[in-house]
Amino acid sequence: MLASRGAAEEPTVNTSLLFRCVRVPRVLHIAYDNSLMLTREGVIRRGGYDVRSVLGNTSAMELLATDKAFDFVGLFQAANYSERSRMVLWLKTWLPLLPIVSLHWVYDEPVKGADVTLPAEHPAELLGVLHDRFPSTQTPPPPLS
């Protein structure tokens, strides 16, 4: 027969390990070229982000009319300067607190109004900046040599 210790003891459970909830940052990826969209989406997703890709400004505006739960917008380089500028202006007008990361070719002028502008030719730099500004659940990859 077991000796009674008085009141029944409750088992101890470490719930911090059972219910660890990690929120992955959401990215709205606005692309202007289908093959570049797929490539860039893969790079961002492998960096630890939840990516929603759209092709062009109109698709981005339509999506943002119903879903505004993004941590930042990635605006990429395949469109001309005026098209990307129009999108930045629209985003800053309708969603002024949503950060914008804009890529451009080295021979193009960076889009004014974007929160972060980077040359498109350096994808490792993109992920490094994203991890600095918008930490994901993964560590950033080492720089390319």
Q: Domains of the chain, with CATH numbers?
A: 24-131 (3.40.50.2300)
Tell me the C-alpha distance between 119 and 117, whole Å: 7
- Bridge pairing between strands 72-75 and 100-104: parallel
pTM for the complete prediction?
0.77
Which residues of the chain fall short of a pLDDT of 70? 1-22, 137-145
What's the pLDDT score for residue 5? 54
User: What are the tokens at 92?
Assistant: 């800053």
pLDDT of residue 6: 54
Report the C-alpha gap between 18 and 93 in whole angstroms.
42
* Residue 13, pLDDT score: 53
| Interval 68-83: pLDDT, tens | 999 999 988 888 899 9
The pLDDT of residue 66: 95
Quote the CA–CA distance of 129 and 116 in Å, as a whole number.
9
Within 10 Å of residue 97's Cβ, how many Cβ atoms? 5
Q: Say if CB 106 and CB 121 are below 8 A apart.
A: yes
Coil, strand or helix: which one is 92? helix
pLDDT score at 101: 94
The letter for the amino acid at 126 is: L
Sequence-ordered list of residues with C-beta below 8 angstroms from that of 56, at least 6 positions apart, any chain: 30, 31, 32, 79
Q: What is the pLDDT of residue 133?
A: 87
**What region does 18 belong to: left with phi over 0, alpha with psi -120 to 50, or beta?**
alpha
